């Protein structure tokens, strides 16, 4: 079985600070990690490898620094790591990113593509499903469990109040949730191998099959007009009232603030 896992290197914090002038993320001094949803997807792939045998390729589109995230994946036990990097890919929104990734994946063999649900620095949850659309693949999002059933997979797709069990034929794409598993640590020897024996393959624009109109800043239909840090909210107030009185109180308060 061949599995491709897409990962993103993100700043290690849920409280990403924005530069108030430029509206971009301040990454200086913030250590980088593999996005948590992606890391669980990676762990799911490695567990399939341990249990059934599989060849796992990890791919990331990003700047040269994303090399560290790919080496971490190698140290956890993946077989192949690819860094998709080119100045032409810069400034991409989710559409341009998924187009670029699909352009690279198109040329590869796979039974399963795994992406994390969403990245903690963007929270869009769009790239995975878009890749599936580009490649014309069945997709299952919000996966928290999986098993292999012959030429099919059975996925557990989570909802707020329950889950679906979905049987899908290979090849397909899933987006995974952080809650799916507890990712393994890197192994000491794996880290040495990742730096001394294994390679992170570089793919550039020349190596992939894409329409130049759909990649990078120019190919990104999303335009960010303004980024800002949310103002600090004042502390909330707790009322313990019967439902009817509570409803009246809420209406009064909303009127008081001219919201309704």
Partner 1 sequence: MDFNLSKEYIMLQRMYQEFAETEVKPLAEEVDETEEFPVETVKKLARYGFMGIPFPKEFGGEGGDVLAYAMAVEELSKVCATTGVIVSAHTSLCATPIYEFGTPAQKEKYLVPLAKGEKLGAFGLTEANAGTDASSQQTTADLEGDEYVLNGSKIFITNAGYADTYVVMAMTDKTKGNKGISAFIVEKDTPGFTIGKKEAKMGIRGSATCELIFENCRIPKDNLLGTEGKGFRIAMQTLDGGRIGIASQALGIAAGALEQTVNYVKERKQFGKPIAAFQNTQFQLADMNTKVEAARLLVYKAAVQKQNKMPYSKEAAMAKLYAAEVAMEVTTKAVQLHGGYGYTREYPVERMMRDAKITEIYEGTSEVQKMVIAAHLLK
Our finding on whether 71 is near partner 1 (CB under 8 A) is yes
How far lies 219's CA from each of 95, 104, 130, 203, 211, in Å? 8, 16, 15, 19, 9
Smallest gap from residue 106 Cβ to partner 1 (A)? 31
Smallest gap from residue 57 Cβ to partner 1 (A)? 20
Q: Of 149 and 192, which CB lies nearer to partner 1 in the complex structure?
A: 192
Q: Of 77 and 129, which CB lies nearer to partner 1 in the complex structure?
A: 77
Phi, psi of 233 (to 5 degrees): -85, 150
Smallest gap from residue 89 Cβ to partner 1 (A)? 23
- Residue 81, number of CB atoms within 10 A of its CB: 24
User: Which residues between 191 and 210 bind partner 1 (CB under 8 A)?
Assistant: 191-196
Stretch that binds partner 1, among 34-42, 91-99, 107-115, 189-197 (CB under 8 A): 189-197
Work out the angle at residue 159's Cα, subtended by the Cα atoms of residues 154 and 162, and round it to the nearest 5 degrees.
80
Our finding on whether 18 is near partner 1 (CB under 8 A) is no
* SS3 of the chain: helix, strand, coil, percent, to 5: 35, 25, 40
Q: Of 9 and 100, which CB lies nearer to partner 1 in the complex structure?
A: 9
Contacting residues for 203 by C-beta, under 8 A, at least 6 apart = 82, 83, 84, 85, 104
DSSP H or E run through 68: helix 67-76
Smallest gap from residue 189 Cβ to partner 1 (A)? 4
Q: Which of 19, 87, 189, 229 binds partner 1 (CB under 8 A)?
A: 189
**Contacting residues toward partner 1, per CB under 8 A:** 68, 71-72, 75, 185-196
């Amino acid at each position: 079985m061949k599995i491709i896992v897409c990962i993103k290197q993100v700043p290690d914090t849920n409280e990403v600070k924005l530069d108030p002038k430029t509206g971009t993320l301040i990454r200086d001094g913030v250590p980088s990690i593999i996005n948590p949803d992606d890391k669980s997807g990676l762990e799911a792939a490695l567990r399939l490898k341990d249990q059934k045998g599989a060849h796992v390729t990890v791919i990331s589109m990003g700047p040269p620094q994303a090399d560290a995230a790919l080496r971490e994946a190698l140290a956890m036990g993946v077989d192949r790591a690819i860094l998709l990097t080119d100045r032409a890919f810069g400034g991409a929104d989710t559409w341009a990113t998924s187009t670029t990734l699909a352009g690279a994946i198109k040329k590869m063999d796979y039974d399963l593509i795994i992406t994390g649900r969403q990245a903690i620095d963007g929270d869009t949850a769009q790239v995975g499903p878009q890749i599936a659309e580009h490649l014309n693949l069945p997709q299952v999002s919000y996966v928290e469990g999986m098993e292999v059933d012959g030429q099919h997979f059975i996925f557990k797709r989570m909802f707020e109040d329950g889950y679906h069990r979905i049987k899908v034929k290979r090849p397909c794409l899933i987006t995974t949730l952080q809650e799916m598993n507890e990712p393994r640590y890197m192994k000491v020897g794996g880290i040495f191998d990742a730096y001394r024996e294994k390679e992170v393959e570089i793919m550039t624009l020349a190596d992939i099959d894409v329409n130049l109109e759909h990649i990078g800043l120019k190919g990104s239909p999303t335009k960010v007009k303004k980024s800002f840090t949310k103002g600090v909210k004042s502390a909330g107030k707790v009322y313990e009232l019967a439902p009817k009185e509570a409803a009246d109180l809420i209406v009064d308060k909303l009127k008081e603030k001219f919201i309704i």
